Chain A
């Protein structure tokens, strides 16, 4: 197992390197620079600023310097927030985004998984159609539409829940978490239904029934594990989706998370901030993909053995 993880970690290095490289040169190729927005900067000041941030050096040299800093964990100073480092800014935004992502993931796995399993137990009955129709609605109703609608209904018309903020008023985390998690809950529901249906048709389920086990034990002891492996493998991609999706939800509900920083940084050509957040988020996603893949592989003894012998 550890060999598998090591192998996958080694595989992650080129991915992250590719992210850094592509991002670095992409933003430099783009028209405009970090000091364009400020009105009429005198050439001397501009040159001084560029020298301060080492923008006057050749591009390749800047690139290698950045890679060097990156290895030591330094993401550089922010261009737009003078005196603050990218590390600090990320550290400020991360806890909020992480908390939001965690709640959303919880919504996705618990609600989605439950709905999928329940639907699979009685396929093609009302017990199947109802949760699956809701799931389809969840997939077809993007967060940027669901969010405003939830806001309108629960925040404004009914006035049950606060419409914005994060951690200021009790209950203000509920709507954002549901908004962000709903699409993934829907996917999880479909995945777990398909997975459970597949497993419930396997011969070994018949063996379990032939042993005389009651149906709930057949499901919990024999079917659940195999049926939920696809869901576990989906957690990585889902997490990636949640991080990207949090831009929108953070915007709608005015939450001071990483996503809003990121979009602002991109608009402002804040080179180091863009690079820093991109690299950070990518690493996070790669690590989560690795985690969910490893977990899925570990749940399957056959794969576990395969990777162990590799």
Chain B
């Protein structure tokens, strides 16, 4: 149905010419889901956007190639003709449903727009059709929600609206660009199922763009792997999972966490004990209980995984342990001392022993301080080093987290996400703490980088004898790192067990749902 041949796209900027898509060919068959996999900057999105003329030119430039869709070359079509294809024969869904709907227009108006524009359908008929579709994608009471604005929907619901909007003209091809990346895992699973169901029913072609092999594993028919603007591997989904040929594909497959950490003997000594922690935000009528009577213990040397979806209160708990958030009630005992009751001086001394690593490597480093300044700050503050020895210590810290020494006087914006996260880990380790809170440390990173950082954290944990609280929304991420897992929902603990137990025999219904929603389950079981 769609045949892309030798497509090349580049971006021309003041800095020079960047080849974003380099001689890419692929085809999409009707009635199949074709997944394009690649990390950020691999050109996967640009390749698809350029087909529909959605890459702004300049700076974009299509250097060559053909894209035959039903016998016509999309790249040669004049803008008027291309517009008729766009939204009628080929529709799109984008990554972030929060920003992709016009906040100033009711969803009903936005829904009927493609239908009214392309097919000149009457207002009434368009409305009728829109309601049917809303119902089909699982929006309840379409006649009421028709007049609602996007902000009145949750992320998952907005993505359903986006899907309805894309399908309203019954297109032959749907391009979905990371449609579930911004969503929680359980919602992600629902959306993927919905897409697969709609695809079967209509027998249309879908191009599914994703950075995560696991996400597409369960629904893709064929897979194309892209790296640095080129296609490095293509083929049947089952064939690729069974016998990938390109080393990069192997790397991607290896980055999918599987198995679980072997259970370790309990040390019997509790380093950290959380008792009846409660935190609420806001007051009176608008008060929201972020953390609701949570208690757990972490043994010395243990890594505890704290798993929950957005809004489950997991980050608030992590911050409460370090008193970055003041809890309303409850105790946090660290080595026998109640953190919540410490005086400022004692708290400062305690901070040397417990540190935190944050999610966003772009926001967690002061943009106006060099690596050296960032790493030397805690060393000097806590008297771990003096002015004479600090340089040597900073450099050995950089060695430990795998940063080249030559980077010492560079600034954060000169680094990639993974490198920044290494700097942040170095800062947290500078004072040789006993306990570290890792708050989603890899969720902003590409999968192969994720695997590297997780490996680094595991190694450093063993080397430094660290006790760790690893906070994440993704059960898969902690399975190799955590000894035990606590599952959190709406501020309360629903289950805690050793990792192996939790993965094989979950007790709570929510845990089961989380496990079932984890993408690429089939992949993990095969060794």
**Set of chain A residues within 8 Å of B86, measured between Cβ atoms:** 209-212
User: Which B residues between 52 and 91 are near A, CB-CB below 8 angstroms?
Assistant: 52, 54, 83-88, 91
Query: Is B83 a contact partner of A214 (Cβ separation < 8 A)?
Result: yes
Query: Is A212 a contact partner of B114 (Cβ separation < 8 A)?
Result: yes
CB < 8 Å: which of B99, B103, B113, B151 contacts A211?
A: B113
Query: Is A202 a contact partner of B83 (Cβ separation < 8 A)?
Result: no
Is B152's CB within 8 Å of the partner chain A?
A: yes
Is A28's CB within 8 Å of the partner chain B?
A: no
Cα A206 to Cα B391 in complex, Å, equals 49
**Set of chain A residues within 8 Å of B92, measured between Cβ atoms:** 207, 210
Cα A222 to Cα B99 in complex, Å, equals 13
Query: Is B94 a contact partner of A203 (Cβ separation < 8 A)?
Result: yes
Convert A159-202 into 0s and 1s, putting 1 for each residue whose CB lies closer than 8 angstroms to a CB of B: 00000000000000000000000000000000000000000001
Known A211-B117, A301-B104, A302-B151; judge A203-B87 contact (CB<8 A).
no
Cα A202 to Cα B101 in complex, Å, equals 10
**Set of chain B residues within 8 Å of A225, measured between Cβ atoms:** 104
- Chain A contact surface mostly: helix
**Set of chain B residues within 8 Å of A81, measured between Cβ atoms:** none
Cα A305 to Cα B94 in complex, Å, equals 26
Contact residues on A (Cβ < 8 Å of other chain), bracket: 20 to 34
Is A204's CB within 8 Å of the partner chain B?
A: yes
Cα A136 to Cα B465 in complex, Å, equals 63
CB < 8 Å: which of B100, B104, B118 contacts A212?
A: B118
**Set of chain A residues within 8 Å of B101, measured between Cβ atoms:** 204, 207
Is B407's CB within 8 Å of the partner chain A?
A: no
Query: Is B102 a contact partner of A204 (Cβ separation < 8 A)?
Result: yes
Convert A276-289 into 0s and 1s, putting 1 for each residue whose CB lies closer than 8 angstroms to a CB of B: 00000000000000
**Set of chain B residues within 8 Å of A211, measured between Cβ atoms:** 86-87, 91, 113-114, 117, 165
* The 6 nearest A-B residue pairs measured at CB: A212-B87, A212-B86, A211-B87, A203-B99, A301-B149, A210-B92
Q: Which residues of A approach B to under 8 Å, CB–CB?
A: 202-204, 206-214, 217, 221-222, 225-226, 299-302, 305
26 contacts between A and B (CB under 8 A): A203-B96, A203-B100, A204-B100, A204-B101, A206-B54, A206-B94, A207-B92, A207-B101, A207-B165, A208-B113, A211-B86, A211-B91, A211-B114, A211-B165, A212-B83, A212-B84, A212-B85, A225-B104, A299-B104, A300-B103, A300-B104, A301-B104, A301-B149, A302-B103, A302-B151, A305-B149
Q: Which residues of B approach A to under 8 Å, CB–CB?
A: 52, 54, 83-88, 91-92, 94, 96, 99-105, 113-114, 117-118, 149, 151-152, 162, 165
Known contacts A207-B165, A213-B87, then 19 further A-B pairs from the complex at CB < 8 Å, ordered by chain A residue = A203-B99, A203-B100, A204-B99, A207-B94, A208-B102, A208-B113, A211-B91, A212-B83, A212-B84, A212-B87, A212-B88, A213-B83, A221-B113, A222-B102, A226-B102, A226-B103, A226-B104, A300-B103, A305-B152
